[in-house]
């Protein structure tokens, strides 16, 4: 899977740094989009785990709680790296709108 990389130009970056309000808004949008992607990926991982057809050797409440924490960290890490590109698409879309 190929990641979608943002396009940036020197003119765009110099304009953005001149306006602190726009910089703050862009940072908020990026943070919100990354959080959304993390939640989405976590839900996807949880759904994938519940579709398991068999029980594992060490399955139990403790293991289930550990898996939930593990899924949350994996989802957060994947969102930070932009594995699916959901955050990037949301950021691009919201930056083009006056929200």
Model-level pTM greater than 0.85? no
Mind listing the pLDDT tens digit of every residue in the chain (99 residues)? 445 555 444 444 444 467 888 889 888 988 999 999 999 999 998 888 877 666 667 777 788 888 889 989 999 998 888 888 999 999 999 888 865
The three-class DSSP label of residue 32 is helix
Domain boundaries, the chain: 24-47+59-99
Q: Are 80 and 3 in contact (CB under 8 A)?
A: no
Q: Where are the beta strands (DSSP E) in the chain?
A: none
């Amino acid at each position: 899977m190929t990641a979608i990389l943002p396009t940036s130009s020197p003119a765009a970056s110099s304009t953005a740094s001149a306006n602190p309000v726009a910089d703050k808004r862009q940072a908020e949008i990026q943070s919100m989009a990354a959080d959304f992607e993390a939640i989405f990926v976590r839900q996807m991982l949880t759904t994938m785990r519940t579709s398991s057809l068999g029980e594992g050797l060490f399955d139990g409440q403790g293991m289930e709680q550990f898996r939930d924490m593990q899924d949350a960290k994996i989802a957060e890490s994947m969102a930070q790296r932009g594995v699916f590109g959901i955050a990037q698409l949301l950021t691009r879309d919201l930056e083009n709108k006056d929200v």
